[in-house]
Amino acid sequence: MRPAPINAGASVYADGAFQGWLPAACELGWFEGSTVCYKFVSDLKVHTDAAAYCAQLGANAAKVPTPADLEALKTWIAGPSGPGGAVAIGGQCLPSDKYSCVYADGTPVSNVGDYYGPSEPDTRTSNTQLGLNKNGLFDGADSLRPFLCSMNKA
């Protein structure tokens, strides 16, 4: 019997014979997105401390580069292996401009469409750090939260 379809890190079979292993696109403990690898960190940190933690791993506070990644992360958050609640990611919205939200590297959040959950972003308050929950991205993740790091795939 042949194994399930080939994924990163899976064994490669040709005509039923083992041919070797595919290299994993993400390091152990990280999970794969479309173009990046993500690591969930359950420690509660403010966004600046989360970014410093990610940097120690050679990564950044997470960004969500594609709509497919957004949908996958929303499903993961709400699923049995996810945290259930919101996580902090790397980005912020500017209080002076309701729709000007950027990732920590300067990439506009709007570069891949409308990510926001209902009524977001709501930058009428001083809570401007981006977070992600089962509904989508939101601003207001300025308090202590678990967080995501991301790095480019190997």
Residue 131, φ and ψ in degrees, nearest 5:
-135, 175
Q: Note the pLDDT tens digit of each residue in 100-128.
A: 777 887 777 764 444 555 455 554 555 57
Query: Tokens at residue 146, please?
Result: 């678990």
Q: Note the pLDDT tens digit of each residue in 31-54.
A: 888 888 999 999 999 888 999 999
Query: Tokens at residue 102, please?
Result: 């950027």
Domain ranges of the chain: 26-152
For 86, half-sphere exposure in the C-beta direction (CA atoms, 13 angstrom radius) is 20
CA distances (Å), origin 124, targets 81, 95, 102, 110, 111: 33, 6, 17, 19, 22
Label residue 144 by pLDDT band (50, 70, 90).
confident
CA distances (Å), origin 19, targets 27, 40, 103: 22, 32, 41
Q: Check residue 15 and give left, alpha or beta (phi > 0: left; psi -120 to 50: alpha).
A: left
CATH number of 26-152: 3.10.100.10
